[in-house]
Amino acid sequence: MAAGYSLKDDLFNPRTVGQLAGEFAAGVPGFDAARFEKEALAGFPERELMARMEWLADCAEAQLTTDFPTMADQLEAAMPARLDPSLRDDDFGQFIHAVPGILAVRHGLEDHRARAMALLYEATQRFSMEFYIRPFLNRWTEETLATLALWAEDENYHVRRLVSEGTRPKLPWAKAVVLTPDQTLPLLDRLHGDPTRFVTRSVSNHLNDLSKTHDDLVLVRLTGWKSKGVQSAKELDWMTRHALRTLIKQGHAGAMAALGFDASVPVTVDLEIETPQVVMGEALMFTCSVASAVDLPVLVDYRLTFARPEGKTGEKVFKLKQGKAVPGKPFVARKVHKLKGDATTFRLYPGPHRVTVQVNGVDRAEAGFELT
């Protein structure tokens, strides 16, 4: 990512605001595009990304009717064409098109639920309404779940994805939802066989969220889906790996077994630290070999233990390599891990650090190095 890059400026700028202004002007008689652009851009500098979405809604709302059913008609008239239904993945839409969702919550949640839900249905085919379905799930839980059960069968894959993504237990950036697994898993049962990766990725992410609090439920569900044979074996294998990624990092025995990795088979691991002293900004280099007396599929991860201020430590697990160890032929993996001195997400500090190698979820070898 280039130095000085700003996501909020990439998403909200004169070009994208001008696009949205043109859409409103084309769909809503009397809408003053120049006024909208001027007001919206003037309010951006002091606002962060999510606040800019709300601000766009403020600026649009100022030129729309106050009667929500009519406002919803105006918002639908200003929508761009639906996202390409022939695509299969990664077609999220533009953040500027969050405006209908924001206004649906503001003005439709209490007194116009059905009209607001219809608006979300149309809007999510332009930009995912995953943030904006959640207030309806909290306020009108049973009614909204019933609607989502119907949407799970919709012909448009963006609508189907919303069913899974909008009900995720730990959806990033979003408000919490007061739903139980008993309420959401039946929806995933309908969606797990979906032919579209955009949907199955969401289902897997939903399960990964759920695994953090209900690991056994997730494993049972995945096993049940495998026995049903609704989804292709290849896609379900991918979904399983993606859904269990947090448990795998934790070395969860059940998750390991579900992916075919036996944690009980004895192995010998030799770990060689090639760079016992690493200068900040340079790379840690190490090699490990895994020997087994039997043919053994192996999943090798490594955990770094970082020095933190005041004698504290921090840890983070990283993927290394997957393969097979066979008698007389150890499985070898080498890693070059750059320790960035200018990382913004995880600050590094000089001091003693450690590498721990995990094989099939079990710590097998460790060694130290010094970061200077």
Phi and psi angles of residue 59, each rounded to the nearest 5 degrees, phi first: -65, -40
Q: What is the pTM of this model?
A: 0.87
Measured between alpha carbons, how far is residue 348 from residues 279, 283, 325, 337, 338 in Å?
Answer: 11, 13, 34, 13, 11
Residue 325 corresponds to which tokens in the numbers above?
A: 């160890």
pLDDT at res. 1:
43
Measured between alpha carbons, how far is residue 188 from residues 181, 202, 345 in Å?
Answer: 10, 10, 32
For 194, the 3-state DSSP assignment is: coil
**Domain 7-258 classification at class level:** mainly alpha
Residue 250 corresponds to which tokens in the numbers above?
A: 């934790």
Measured between alpha carbons, how far is residue 147 from residues 6, 19, 113, 237, 328 in Å?
Answer: 37, 32, 11, 30, 59
pLDDT at res. 325:
95
Residue 37 corresponds to which tokens in the numbers above?
A: 């652009």
pLDDT at res. 344:
66
Distance CA 205, CA 192 (A): 12
For 331, the 3-state DSSP assignment is: strand
Kindly provide the b/e burial profile for residues 15-25, where b requires at least 16 CB atoms within 10 angstroms of the residue's own CB. Answer: ebbbebbbbbb
Amino acid sitting at position 339: L
Distance CA 13, CA 202 (A): 29
CATH topology of domain 267-371: Immunoglobulin-like (2.60.40)
How are strands ordered across the β-sheet holding 313-325? 277-278, 362-371, 351-359, 296-307, 313-325
Beta bridge partners of 267: 292
pLDDT 10s digit of each residue in the chain, 372 long? 445 689 999 999 999 999 999 999 999 999 999 999 999 999 999 999 999 999 999 999 999 999 999 999 999 999 999 999 888 887 889 999 999 999 999 999 999 999 999 999 999 999 999 999 999 999 999 999 999 999 999 999 999 999 999 999 999 999 999 999 999 999 999 999 999 999 999 999 999 999 999 999 999 999 999 999 999 999 999 999 999 999 998 889 999 999 999 999 999 999 999 999 999 999 999 999 999 999 999 999 999 999 999 999 999 999 999 999 999 999 999 999 999 877 767 889 999 999 999 999 999 999 999 999
pLDDT at res. 232:
97
Distance CA 177, CA 192 (A): 21
Answer yes or no: same fold for 7-258 and 267-371: no
Task: Give 321's contacts (C-beta < 8 A, 6+ positions apart).
Answer: 300, 331, 333
Distance CA 285, CA 273 (A): 6
Cα–chain center distance at 362 = 27
Q: Nearest-5° angle of CA 154, CA 160, CA 165?
A: 160
Count of C-beta atoms within a 10 Å radius of residue 153: 11
Distance CA 296, CA 327 (A): 9
Domain regions of the chain by residue span: 7-258, 267-371
- Answer whether 103's CB lies under 8 Å from 61's CB: yes
